[in-house]
Chains A and B, each alone.
Chain A
Amino acid sequence: MLNLKSLAGAIVATAMSFAPALAQNVTVVTPYLAQPGTQMFVEGFKAEADGMGWNANIVDTAGDVAAVISRIEDAVTQNVDAIVINVDPEQIAAGLEVAREAGIPVIGMDSGVSPLLQANVTSNGYAMAAETSVYVANRISGKGRVVMFVFDPFPPVQIRGVIADAVFGNFPDIEVIDRITPDVQDGGIADSRAKMEAILAANPEPGSISAVWAAWDQPGLGALQAIEAAGREGEGIVIVGIDANPQARDAIAAGGNFEASVAQDFVGIGKATAGVVSRAIKGEEIREDVIYVPTVLITKANVGE
């Protein structure tokens, strides 16, 4: 046990020796550090935090949401200068209330809006949907028949559909022939494919479908499979998705019907979060509840970057 204590001491001392004296202490708590998106948030945040000389402590609770509350309580006890979370604020309200009582600012990194947060830094779902729906409208020269894949029960995806409705509605010659909510139990690809096969069967004339607008990548990928399986990939049907996941990027790079998607700037969200933390530490009043980081339209031209 004595050896163990000195080992613990050595490790702790090493960990602490990197912390500059009187640096700002910022604790980042997330249950999701194993996920690629979260790793990129943290990478961006760390880069900025190191630049500002902060002592940033990244705490991963390995999926345990209750432990996020506990670690926030510990950070409050430690009297850190700010706390950053990457988890649904509603589930950890108990911890956020403790931080509020202690007057410690908490900033959300793609977490959700809550009155207990100073601000949430994320991507603009409205803007992402605008990017892809305008891309479709321009590609088909403002004229044609469009299939939409939406998912209104999930608020972050629902807002994407609202924007696409507005954009397509603003073109008198664009007709939305179907607005489909796929079954997402299987991840969304298989059922979207089945739904698209039915639509293709109902619209057998070549050129009768001009585009597929999907509120996220999976339905677009399902539609692509259906179109290719029906041998109708030569009709120039334009498919777009949102999120630019690896499978969608492959499809875009292949140069087929799946032409575009929108990528969130995960590293940028991490960096912008550090910016908000810096403002909060200085005592600045942050009026925006949500701070958006620009997204990037991914097409064949930039998919390799």
Chain B
Amino acid sequence: MIRTLKLYGTLIGFVTILVFFSVQLPDTFLTAKNLINITQQISMLAVVACSMTLVMVMGDFDLSVGSMASLAGIVAALLFSMGYPVSVGIAVALLVGVLGGVFNGILVSFFGILPFVATLGTLTMFSGLAFFTSGGKTIFGRDIPATFSGFARSGLQLDQIGLVGLKLPYLSLVALLVLVVVWFILEQTIFGRRLYAIGGNQEAARLAGLKVRTLRLCAFAMTGLGAAIAGLMYASRVASANPTQGSGLMLDAIAAVFLGMTMSEEGEPRVLYSIVGVLILGILDNGLTQMSVDSYIREILVGAIIVTAVAFSSITKQSR
């Protein structure tokens, strides 16, 4: 019984939230339109949470994802404003993401700096770079090509499957794609199993012959790439780039992964569970706004839910 609660507590909480909003908002919550909306609203956080899961399975963190997201948006927007085509802006921004991630990886795996400290440092560096390259200004208006900002406003028409007039936003599709790729990497490849092995016991993994340094480096590079993808999605959605706009993503992503970890038997991060964490956060925002609940009370509730879920899972773990 306790074990069931431990494993399914968060899931039960998630379902409870769904039921609660469905009852409170009978006409608007459980509609195809609103649910599609939610997938778009959480898409950027989902991408960051998925890529954060890659390093968190090794017991590491990447605190720099938010400022990397901002930096990627700024890099792309600056290139757009200099007249480069959209494809070049996107490619360079993604490259910056990978390079930033590699830099994090080198600090963590080759210099042996604690990820918390190393990525706290690069958080500040990336943020400073974003401010420096943009001159602290928001880049918007004519500098952002319509093809780029239009991406976040378009999607696949869903008329064929009976949802007339609705479309599946491209942002949601990108998030889904990232989820599938990360799931495949972590759950279906040897590379993924090795990351979990490092998370289980780094020393044992090394003694077993795993190239721990290279593996960690690769994982951090992928997390940097994910952060840059999220930053581009954000910039497309707001049709502008600002040196601080991604900063809120980092803590929410870590919170989502933690919420997900309470659902796994071994207390490990699993990318599908991370998505449940993202959904909990996104659905709370969506539902509570519709119920006109004060935004500060919303914050208190979200924090309380995270603490409750984690506390619940650790209490049940002790009593097992």
State the A residues within 8 Å of B (CB). Answer: 1-2, 4-5, 7-9, 11-12, 15-16, 19, 25, 27, 55, 57-67, 69-71, 73-75, 77-79, 88, 90-94, 97, 185
Contact = CB atoms under 8 A, between A and B. Distances in A.
B16 A1 contact: yes
Contacts of A88: 138, 140, 240
Contact of B141 (A61, A78, A90): A90
A190 B155 CA distance: 49
Interface centre among A61, A67, A77, A97 (most CB of B within 10 A): A77
Contacts of B127: none
Judged by DSSP, the binding face of A is helix
Contacts, number: 123
B193 interface: no
Contact of B293 (A2, A11, A25): A11
Contact of A73 (B24, B41, B245, B291): B41
B289 A58 contact: no
Interface in B131-145: 135-136, 138, 140-141
Given A1-B13, A94-B237, 18 more contacts: A1-B9, A1-B12, A27-B289, A59-B295, A60-B295, A60-B296, A62-B248, A69-B238, A73-B37, A73-B40, A74-B286, A78-B289, A78-B290, A90-B141, A90-B240, A91-B138, A94-B239, A185-B135
B312 interface: yes
Given A4-B305, A77-B28, A27 B292 contact: yes
Given A5-B16, A78-B28, A25 B292 contact: yes
Given A90-B141, A93-B239, A75 B289 contact: yes
Contacts of A11: 293, 297, 301
B268 interface: no
20 contacts: A1-B309, A4-B304, A11-B301, A12-B24, A27-B292, A59-B289, A63-B248, A66-B238, A69-B237, A70-B286, A74-B289, A75-B289, A77-B31, A77-B37, A88-B138, A88-B140, A90-B140, A92-B238, A93-B239, A97-B153
Contacts of A55: 292
B266 to A, nearest CB: 21
A61 B298 CA distance: 11
A12 B140 CA distance: 38
Contacts of B159: none
B33 interface: yes
A63 B290 CA distance: 20
A27 B239 CA distance: 23
Cβ-closest 10 pairs across A and B: A74-B289, A57-B292, A70-B41, A1-B13, A78-B290, A91-B238, A60-B295, A65-B238, A91-B240, A64-B248
B297 A15 contact: yes
B201 interface: no
A53 B61 CA distance: 48
Contacts of A75: 289-290
A7 to B, nearest CB: 7
A63 to B, nearest CB: 7
A304 to B, nearest CB: 33
Given A15-B294, A62-B248, A8 B301 contact: yes
A185 B312 CA distance: 50
B20 interface: yes
Contacts of A91: 138, 140, 238-240
B234 interface: yes
Contacts of B309: 1
B60 interface: no
B44 interface: yes
B33 to A, nearest CB: 7
Nearest to A57: B292
Interface in B263-312: 285-286, 288-297, 301, 304-305, 308-309, 312
A225 to B, nearest CB: 23
B34 A77 contact: yes
B292 to A, nearest CB: 4
A12 B291 contact: yes
Contacts of B256: none
Contacts of B248: 62-64, 67
B152 interface: yes
B312 A1 contact: yes
A6 B34 CA distance: 25
B242 interface: yes
Contacts of A1: 9, 12-13, 16, 308-309, 312
Contacts of A71: 285, 289
A7 B304 contact: yes
A77 B297 contact: no
